[in-house]
Amino acid sequence: MAIKLIATDLNGTLLHNDQTFNQQLFTETLHALGQRGIRLVLSSGNQFTHLEKLFHDVMADNLAIVAENGASIYLQGQQVFDGSLSAKDVQHFVTVDRRQDFLESAYIILVGQQGSYTETGAPQVLIDAAEKFYDNLQQVADLNTVTDRIKKISISTAPGEAATLVADLNTYFGDKLQAHDSGYGVVDVVAANVGKLPAVQWLADRWHVAADEVMAFGDGANDVPLLKFARQSWAMSNAPASVRAAATRVTSVDNEHDGVLTTIQSALMMF
């Protein structure tokens, strides 16, 4: 079967390390995909507001955005899926869950519809780093006072300890919530039915696309389920060995050299 849907991660995959991308090649690729009836899905742990600013100049009818690790799906600027955490789950997390030993000293950010929220007194070096990825980051005295609709809960940890934290969280939560390693030392907690793969599956069902008509790109642990699902899956050459092993192929060049777009351009000749 021909490919009808291409899903790609952003940080470390489509985007360069400075959060830019080749706009001309992206626009040309998106147009070529549109002519063939192929949809492009941008899938990220970032907030939609951040992604909307980043891709504002290249939006098209065949482009979908999956934000907050699958908690939000947008088509043509309109939200079509909302997988926000329940107010009860958020309240329980900030008053009970985060007091567990493995989270006691963790740096927490609540990522909402209108902004992001962390506790007053967080180290400035972490605030500075977070402001590059979280829009409208606000410091509050008590996370329990936040009234925004929360999409996900981000937890900062050392990059080498993320896998352990994900395992601890998923054991602790059971089937109530789901933790994903978003890379760069950040673990995201979302609703149990939320993730990059469920979001792509939701879109595929909406568009009547079969599993073997999906192509995917990624570089991180939270991309692995999608890479295993897609008929043609490409791990970035800059991805860890464990991610490369999960994909059917590895790009010849990394994210800094437009590995996703050049791979799609080559594949277009066969579509």
Same domain, 47 and 133: no
Select from 138, 162, 188 the last residue of a domain.
188
Same domain, 212 and 182: no
Same domain, 79 and 98: no
**Total number of domains in the chain:** 2
pLDDT at 121: 87
Q: What is the DSSP string of the chain?
A: ----EEEEEIIIIIS-TTS---HHHHHHHHHHHHHTT-EEEEE-SS-HHHHHHHTGGG--TTEEEEEGGGTEEEETTEEEEE-PPPHHHHHHHHHTGGGSGGGTT-EEEEEESS-EEEETT--HHHHHHHTTTSTTEEEES-GGG--S-EEEEEEE--GGGHHHHHHHHHHHHTTSEEEEEEETTEEEEEETT-SHHHHHHHHHHHHT--GGGEEEEE-SGGGHHHHHHSSEEEE-TTS-HHHHHHSSEE-SS-GGGTHHHHHHHHHHTT-
Same domain, 170 and 99: yes
Same domain, 211 and 257: yes
Select from 188, 223, 252 the last residue of a domain.
188
Select from 188, 219, 248 the last residue of a domain.
188
Same domain, 104 and 183: yes
Same domain, 131 and 105: yes
Domain CATH code at residue 226: 3.40.50.1000
Q: What is the pLDDT along the chain (271 residues), one digit of tens a residue?
A: 589 999 999 999 999 999 999 999 999 999 999 999 999 999 999 999 999 999 999 999 999 999 999 999 999 999 999 999 999 999 999 999 999 999 987 899 999 999 999 999 888 888 888 888 888 999 999 999 999 999 999 999 887 888 899 999 999 999 999 999 988 889 999 999 999 999 999 999 999 999 999 999 999 999 999 999 999 999 999 999 999 999 999 999 999 999 999 999 999 887 6
Same domain, 59 and 114: no
Please give the residue range of the domain that contains residue 53.
5-83+194-268
Same domain, 150 and 229: no
